[in-house]
């Protein structure tokens, strides 16, 4: 009987647990969401937890996969997601509207305002004066919105002799007699100044033509309207809300008489401003939304109304700040304290349908190749993940209105992509700095833009010896055995450069011959193939592969191959293994491969290596005074940027277009993005994987012409010195080049920019 009671008790407890257990829904939390917010979301009897994602593009993907249940997307992010998400997989369950504009169906609408005596038709804007709200970090509009009016009105005359951005402003200057288009026309300072010097008429209507800016006390849209009413403008492209305020259609005092102005419609007709409840607009931007998995959308829509009553976040947090609901409100509303959740339109819960109400131009596919003013930038990628990421970047660029467009070219390998760029079937390729010398030497490519990083994440090449080796100078490596990660890689190039500068290597070319003559033997993986060492002879190749280990499992395998499957000494860890096996006397390695940065930002050597077993030979010829691998940059053979994007040469028009496009991509999707930082993180993880196209360590791009950035300058100098056969190493030009020619080249480089 007692056993029966026990069974009944357990059954009752289990039933009670099942009755009280509740579903916990996973909400997307991008990198902008603070860790303590997600910790607070776990408080109490929570019904939601964070699913950490890199960006909103990944959130949409996780919704489709069923790993996330709901998340917030901006209108631009909805557009981007609609390109990759099957419409039947997700549903919009709420809009996020401003508390003072709950009855307005759109976050903003754009309008064109002209004087009442304008005679209509878009073609008649020729030689008129144009007032634009401008480009700035505080501007919430993307290029797609900011440039929509001019792209519809101004005839596009193609000129492939200049970069796309210059063609664009040439067309504007030819169409409008004067304008005020304030802010940065280009993300490249040199190009921006050049364009404004060429087209001062496009700044002539500004309050400050020299700076091409409106007065600081005016908002950009109000200033554009003031440019129209007070500075002789003929047409202004602005937000409808500011237009209503400016002309006193609400509670504000009018700054100009609305009877004197008209709405100019996209079909060329005009409408009165006063007493017009349905003005014609050029674009209509839907509100930000909460998106959920389709199978949970109805439940979550009701749950949200229970979790977050219809009040602003500011009001909600005053009463529920320390609850899990308060944490959820912070994730959904971000910093938008005056916004509330409302039901979406019943007929617009599908992503593409929702956006098509006002942004149909971006729901439609981009123009087919050959139908544009200039060709797309052909971006070569060579892994399935890189192809996927390239397609996301392509759609992101199109959604945000960045030009020229991107075409993703799938290569079989990195070498295949380098050949494609050389052979003009692709235009650009992103690579690790490890392969920059080979890109130049073997394939004739050139750096286009560098991937910048902080000093701790930059490459740092060091020459390592065993602590008990007795070797105390670089010069003592003569007739010693050396281990390199890869022939022609960073470590090889830096060591040859340092040895040349110390006058250690014989004056022979190519560098493989000089190194083989100087060393006893080496393992330089790839030294026996034509990609890494196209001009090496048989004897040199034998000497530079002699130290590589035989493959016991596959005796017929190439022991000098540049891959870890057949060569145990390949790559930086392999080179250090070669030293540890006491086959080599020195290993030249990039410290990135064996170090990591802990949570406190301290660089540490991986636990696999005992620092007291090593000592570093410094570039100046001496040995480090302390044991270990971590030395400063002055001791390293070389240090520099983590990677770069290469092309056929920075002077090609298409290359200039590509460089400027990459800077635009960084502005909108990089770490410094102001308003759309969570739309697409181009440098972060992609689908849980690091280093997809760009290095995870990259903080952004840096111009190849930037001489103030130490990492970029040192890397650029290393590549330049070793592109040909530099017999002198660092600090010396090739002896055969006259000083006058060097001066002329320097002058040309100083003059050329993106």
C-alpha to C-alpha distances, 339 to 31, 103, 678, nearest whole angstrom: 22, 13, 19
The answer to whether 720 is a known ligand-binding residue is no
> How far apart are the C-alpha atoms of 164 and 170, rounded to whole Å?
10
> Cα separation of 477 and 471, whole Å?
8
Cβ contacts of 14 within 8 Å, gap of 6 or more: none
Strands 90-98, 339-342: pairing is antiparallel
Rounded CA-CA distance 143/183 in Å is 12
| Stretch (H or E) spanning 1 | none
Based on the number of CB atoms within 10 Å of its own CB, is 723 exposed (0-12), middle (13-18) or buried (19 or more)?
Answer: middle
Is cis: bond before 546, omega within 30 of 0?
Answer: no
C-alpha 681/C-alpha 54 separation (Å) is: 7
Spatial CA neighbour of 567 closest among 579, 552, 582: 552
Q: Are strands 700-703 and 638-640 parallel, antiparallel or unpaired?
A: unpaired
49 vs 447: CA distance, rounded Å: 44
Q: What's the CA gap between 578 and 373, in Å, rounded?
A: 55
- DSSP letter, residue 100: T
Radius of gyration of the chain, Cα coordinates, nearest whole angstrom: 31
Which H/E stretch holds residue 363?
helix 360-363
DSSP letter at 280?
A: -
Neighbours of 229 (CB within 10 A): 19
Q: How far apart are CA 56 and CA 142, in angstroms?
A: 17
Angle (nearest 5°) at CA 107 between 54 and 264: 130
Question: In terms of C-beta density within 10 A (0-12 exposed, 13-18 middle, 19 or more buried), how is residue 12 classed?
Answer: exposed
Count H helices and E strands in the chain, helices first. Answer: 25, 27
Q: Is 459 annotated as a binding residue?
A: yes
Residue with tokens 């063609």: 167
Residue 169 annotated as lining a ligand binding site: no
As a whole number of angstroms, the distance between CA 502 and CA 729 comes to 8
Q: CA nearest 745: which of 652, 648, 651?
A: 651
Query: What is the spatial distance between Cα 285 and Cα 105, in angstroms, rounded to a whole number?
Result: 9
Beta strands 481-483 and 586-590, pairing class: parallel
The residues with which 129 forms a beta bridge, in sequence order, are 178
Cis peptide before 404 (omega within 30 of 0): yes
What is the distance between the alpha carbons of residues 326 and 320, in angstroms, rounded to a whole number? 5
Instruction: List the beta bridge partners of residue 71.
Output: 291
Which residues belong to the annotated binding site for hydrogencarbonate?
491
Which residues belong to the annotated binding site for Fe(3+)?
432, 459
Which residues belong to the annotated binding site?
432, 459, 491
């Amino acid at each position: 009987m007692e056993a029966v009671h026990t069974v009944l008790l357990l059954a009752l407890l289990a039933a009670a647990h099942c009755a009280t257990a509740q579903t916990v829904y996973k909400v997307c939390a991008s990198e902008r969401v603070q860790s303590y917010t997600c910790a607070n979301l776990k408080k109490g009897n929570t019904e939601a937890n964070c699913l950490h994602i890199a960006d909103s593009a990944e959130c949409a993907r996780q919704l489709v996969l069923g790993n996330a249940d709901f998340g917030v997307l901006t209108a631009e992010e909805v557009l981007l997601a609609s390109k990759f998400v099957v419409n039947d997989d997700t549903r919009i369950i709420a809009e996020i509207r401003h508390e003072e504009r709950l009855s307005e169906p759109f976050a903003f609408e754009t309008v064109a305002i002209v004087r009442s005596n304008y005679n209509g038709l878009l073609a008649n804007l020729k030689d008129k004066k144009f007032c634009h709200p401008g480009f700035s970090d505080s501007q919430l509009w993307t290029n797609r919105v900011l440039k929509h009016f001019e792209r519809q009105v101004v005839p596009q005359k193609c000129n492939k002799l200049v970069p796309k951005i210059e063609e664009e402003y040439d067309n504007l200057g030819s169409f409008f007699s004067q304008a005020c288009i304030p802010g940065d026309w280009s993300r490249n300072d040199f190009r921006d100044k050049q364009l404004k010097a060429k087209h001062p008429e496009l700044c002539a209507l500004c309050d400050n033509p020299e700076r091409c800016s409106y007065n600081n006390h005016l908002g950009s849209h109000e200033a554009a309207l003031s440019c129209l009413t007070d500075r002789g403008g003929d047409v202004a492209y602005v937000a409808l809300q500011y237009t209503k305020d400016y002309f006193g259609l609400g509670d504000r005092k009018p700054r100009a008489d609305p009877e004197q102005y008209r709405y100019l419609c996209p079909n060329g007709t005009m409408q009165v401003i006063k007493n017009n409840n349905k003005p014609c607009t050029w674009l209509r931007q839907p509100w930000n939304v909460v998106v959920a998995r389709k199978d949970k959308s109805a439940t979550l829509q009701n749950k949200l109304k229970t979790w977050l009553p219809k009040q602003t976040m500011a009001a909600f947090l005053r009463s529920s700040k320390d609850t899990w609901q308060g944490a959820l409100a912070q994730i959904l509303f971000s910093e938008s304290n005056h916004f509330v959740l409302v039901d979406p339109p019943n007929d617009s819960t599908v992503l593409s349908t929702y956006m098509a109400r006002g942004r149909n131009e971006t729901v439609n596919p981009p123009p087919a190749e050959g139908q544009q003013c200039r060709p797309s930038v052909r971006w070569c990628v060579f892994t399935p993940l890189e192809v996927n990421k390239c397609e996301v970047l392509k759609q992101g660029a199109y959604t945000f209105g960045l030009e020229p467009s991107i075409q993703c070219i799938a290569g079989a390998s990195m070498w295949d992509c380098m050949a494609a760029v050389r052979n003009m079937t692709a235009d650009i390729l992103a690579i690790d700095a490890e392969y920059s010398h080979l890109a130049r030497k073997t394939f004739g490519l050139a750096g286009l833009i560098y991937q910048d990083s902080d000093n701790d994440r930059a490459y740092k090449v060091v020459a390592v010896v065993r602590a008990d080796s007795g070797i105390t100078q670089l010069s003592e490596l003569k007739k010693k055995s050396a281990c390199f990660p890869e022939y022609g890689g960073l470590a090889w190039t830096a060591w040859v450069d340092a040895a040349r500068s110390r006058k250690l290597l014989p004056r022979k070319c190519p560098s493989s011959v000089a190194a083989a003559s100087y060393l006893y033997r080496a393992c330089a993986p790839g030294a026996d193939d034509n990609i890494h060492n196209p001009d090496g002879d048989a004897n040199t190749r034998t000497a530079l592969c002699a130290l590589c280990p035989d493959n016991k499992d596959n005796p017929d395998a190439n022991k000098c191959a540049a891959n870890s499957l057949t060569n145990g000494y390949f790559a930086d860890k392999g080179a250090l293994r070669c030293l540890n096996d006491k086959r080599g006397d020195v290993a030249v390695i990039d410290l990135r491969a064996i170090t990591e940065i802990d949570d406190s930002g301290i660089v540490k050597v991986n636990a696999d290596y005992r620092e007291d077993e090593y000592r570093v030979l410094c570039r100046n010829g001496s040995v480090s005074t302390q044991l270990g691998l971590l030395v400063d940059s002055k001791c390293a053979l070389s240090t520099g940027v983590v990677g770069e994007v290469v092309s056929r040469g920075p002077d090609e028009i298409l290359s200039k277009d590509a460089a400027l496009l990459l800077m635009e991509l960084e502005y909108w999707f990089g770490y410094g993005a102001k308003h759309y930082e969570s739309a697409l993180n181009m440098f972060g993880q992609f689908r849980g994987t690091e280093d997809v196209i760009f290095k995870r360590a990259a903080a952004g791009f840096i111009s190849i012409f930037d001489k103030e950035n130490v990492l970029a300058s040192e890397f650029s100098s290393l590549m330049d010195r070793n592109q040909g056969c530099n017999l002198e190493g660092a600090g010396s030009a090739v002896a055969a080049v006259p000083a006058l020619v060097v001066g002329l080249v320097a002058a040309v480089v100083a003059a050329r920019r993106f």
